[in-house]
């Protein structure tokens, strides 16, 4: 009995010793690996690491805790450390580029593919497939390219101009929904209205689907999108989100929202359209028809991948367009002289007409300038990232093989090196007579992975701006905050609260 007790005791002691040595070895391996990663990148300038193990994460977290957003910190670093700098988060080193030559090289060469480190996080949220490997997230160049080539024509101007009636109908619905607010003089969040009308726009123009989100703030699609966007944002900032017991009900809400968006909405829409085609019905030549065409041309695509594209195209354009318009209303609201010029231009070009044609929009030069300046200061999709497989020396900076490079549009577009008085909202920068440095303005990104929906967004946004300023004027709430909130995108923290008056 004593013999087996001794044996058990010896086993426990050896077991503990084994675990302690294993932890010790692991600790040494991690420490050695971190030291190696630091040495690999220490030839690049960058902020000092606040912690050996966490890298610059404590500085970024402390900044966020002060209700600041990380992009602002990256801008301070870019001003201080120049066109290319590095920062560390745990074992990962991010190389951040903002110089025009570096940005051009990295974004326009197809050998630099999208970084899976960033985009895989959108693949699944809280354990459920969200936009999977859709157009935005696919990092395999050849797989992505085949789909993009098929979908591209749906976004050409010559094709989109055929949808001006639908764009106008959506704009008119928005204007009518605001009329009650102008009569009541109550203050309201314009951001909320913009989120709903941009959803109606993509649904009606892109998918020939009547969402009628403008009619109800509790539209289930809006509620589901909000949950998923919060999920993305939390997942980006908290790698342990899937394991925290305190987040159990949040994770359930996100998963239910994804199920609703993919199955109840996306899949149902796909099946209905296929049925219509099968029955020989005439179907609209909209974005959905191009997504379906992808599957016909590329039979290897699964239905799950087709759903990835449906969700991507629905969501990528809605949030970005509503955010940029919200920022525009904020800036114009505090610059009465800009509001006046917008109204004058709209009145002059439209001459009281309600229907806005494609040609009318091309005449709205000042509207275009204000829209572009808003995108310069507040690019809603604030950056992109690429993977550098083989070592590259660009503009004198040696970037080691196997690196993840981050390009922040927010930073590049707000640098003193690129713009005079960059913190000033000044639409005159985009007047035709003004010269700008090349590759310092890219709110829709650059090169092959740039935004497929750029023309769609420009038509939609400018049409909504024109319709609004033709009819209304407004006053921002005196307590309105001008802070930026960084979630998956940049959006105004305070929601653009205003009171409305008919002109």
48: which DSSP letter?
Answer: P
Sign of CA dihedral 356, 432, 75, 139: positive
From residue 325 to residue 364, the character string flagging contacts with ligand HEM as x (rule: CB under 6 A) and all else as - is: ----------------------------------------
472: closest CA among 188, 212, 176, 201? Answer: 176
Plot region of 233 (φ>0 → left; ψ -120 to 50 → alpha; else → beta): alpha
Residue 381 engages ligand HEM in binding (rule: CB under 6 A): yes
Q: Which residue has the tokens 């070009």?
A: 349
Distance between CA 151 and CA 290 in Å, rounded?
Answer: 6
The residues in 296-315 that bind ligand HEM, with binding defined as CB under 6 A, are 312-313
Pure H helices in 334-453: 336-350, 358-363, 365-377, 409-412
Residue from the set 384, 403, 412, 426 that interacts with ligand HEM by CB under 6 A: 384
From residue 411 to residue 430, the character string flagging contacts with ligand HEM as x (rule: CB under 6 A) and all else as - is: --------------------
Q: Which residue is nearest to ligand HEM (CB)?
A: 453
The residues in 148-187 that bind ligand HEM, with binding defined as CB under 6 A, are 148
Residue from the set 234, 376, 449, 462 that interacts with ligand HEM by CB under 6 A: 449
Rounded to a whole number of angstroms, the minimum distance from the CB of residue 271 to ligand HEM is 22
Q: Mark the segment that binds ligand HEM (CB under 6 A) among 172-180, 228-236, 316-324, 328-336.
A: 316-324
Residue from the set 94, 135, 311, 394 that interacts with ligand HEM by CB under 6 A: 135
From residue 24 to residue 63, the character string flagging contacts with ligand HEM as x (rule: CB under 6 A) and all else as - is: ----------------------------------------
Q: Using an 8 Å Cβ cutoff, are 327 and 373 in contact?
A: no
Residue 480 engages ligand HEM in binding (rule: CB under 6 A): no
Residue 219 engages ligand HEM in binding (rule: CB under 6 A): no
Which residue's CB is nearer to ligand HEM, number 372 or number 493? 372
Residue from the set 163, 397, 406, 456 that interacts with ligand HEM by CB under 6 A: 456
Residue 321 engages ligand HEM in binding (rule: CB under 6 A): yes
Which residue's CB is nearer to ligand HEM, number 34 or number 328? 328
Distance between CA 142 and CA 131 in Å, rounded?
Answer: 18
Give, in degrees to the nearest 5, the angle at Cα 412 between 225 and 371: 60
Residue 50 buriedness (CB in 10 A; 0-12 / 13-18 / 19+): middle
Which residue's CB is nearer to ligand HEM, number 34 or number 160? 160
Q: Which residue has the tokens 């988060």?
A: 89
Residue 468 engages ligand HEM in binding (rule: CB under 6 A): no
Q: What are phi and psi of 59, to 5 degrees?
A: -65, -40
Kindly report the length of the chain: 503
Rounded to a whole number of angstroms, the minimum distance from the CB of residue 148 to ligand HEM is 5
Specify the DSSP element, H or E, that contains 408: strand 403-408
Distance between CA 189 and CA 13 in Å, rounded?
Answer: 65
Q: Mark the segment that binds ligand HEM (CB under 6 A) among 257-265, 344-352, 378-386, 469-477.
A: 378-386
Which residue's CB is nearer to ligand HEM, number 227 or number 290? 290
176: closest CA among 202, 198, 205, 197? Answer: 197
Q: Where does this chain bind ligand HEM (CB under 6 A)?
A: 135-136, 148, 202, 206, 312-313, 316-317, 320-321, 324, 380-381, 384, 443-445, 449, 451-453, 456-457
């Amino acid at each position: 009995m004593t013999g087996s007790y001794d044996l058990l005791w010896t086993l426990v002691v050896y077991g503990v010793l084994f675990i302690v040595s294993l932890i010790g070895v692991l600790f040494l391996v991690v420490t050695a690996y971190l030291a190696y990663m630091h040495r690999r990148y220490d030839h690049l300038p960058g902020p000092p690491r606040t912690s050996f193990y966490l890298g610059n994460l404590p500085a970024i977290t402390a900044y966020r805790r002060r209700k600041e957003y990380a992009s602002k910190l990256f801008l301070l670093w870019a001003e201080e450390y120049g066109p290319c700098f590095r920062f560390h988060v745990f074992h990962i080193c991010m190389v951040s580029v903002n110089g025009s030559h570096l940005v051009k090289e990295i974004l326009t060469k197809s050998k630099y593919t999208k970084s899976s480190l960033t985009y895989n996080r959108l693949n699944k949220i809280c354990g459920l497939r969200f936009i999977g490997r859709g157009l935005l997230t696919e990092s395999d160049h050849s797989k992505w390219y085949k789909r993009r080539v098929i979908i591209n024509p749906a976004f050409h101007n010559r094709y989109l101009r055929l949808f001006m009636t639908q764009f106008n109908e959506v704009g008119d619905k928005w204007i009518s929904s605001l009329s009650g607010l102008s009569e009541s003089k109550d203050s309201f969040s314009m951001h909320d209205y913009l989120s709903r009308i941009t959803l109606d726009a993509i649904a009606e123009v892109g998918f020939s689907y009547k969402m009628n989100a403008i009619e109800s703030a509790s539209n289930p699609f809006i509620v589901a999108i909000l949950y998923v966007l919060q999920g993305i944002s939390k997942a980006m900032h908290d790698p342990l989100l899937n394991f925290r017991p305190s987040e159990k009900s949040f994770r359930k809400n996100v998963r239910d929202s994804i199920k609703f968006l993919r199955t109840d909405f996306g899949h149902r829409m796909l099946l209905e359209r296929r049925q219509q085609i099968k029955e020989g019905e005439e179907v609209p030549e909209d974005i959905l028809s191009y997504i379906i065409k992808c599957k016909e041309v590329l039979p290897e695509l699964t239905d799950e991948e087709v759903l990835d594209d449906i969700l991507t195209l629905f969501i990528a354009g809605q949030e970005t367009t509503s955010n940029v318009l919200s920022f525009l209303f904020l800036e114009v609201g505090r610059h009465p002289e800009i509001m006046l010029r917008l109204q004058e231009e709209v009145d002059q070009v439209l001459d009281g007409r309600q229907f806005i044609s494609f040609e009318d929009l091309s005449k709205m030069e000042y509207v275009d300038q204000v829209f572009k300046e808003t995108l310069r200061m507040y690019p809603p999709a604030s950056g992109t990232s690429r993977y550098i497989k083989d070592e590259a020396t660009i503009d004198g900076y040696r970037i080691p093989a196997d690196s993840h490079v981050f390009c922040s549009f927010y930073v590049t577009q707000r640098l003193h090196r690129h713009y005079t008085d960059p913190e000033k909202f000044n639409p005159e920068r985009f007047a035709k007579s003004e010269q700008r440095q090349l590759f310092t303005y890219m709110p829709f990104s650059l090169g092959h992975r740039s935004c497929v929906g750029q023309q769609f967004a420009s038509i939609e946004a400018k049409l909504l701006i024109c319709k609004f300023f033709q009819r209304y004027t407004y006053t921002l709430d005196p307590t309105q905050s001008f802070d930026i909130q960084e979630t998956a995108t940049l959006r105004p923290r305070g929601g653009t609260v205003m009171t409305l008056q008919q002109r």
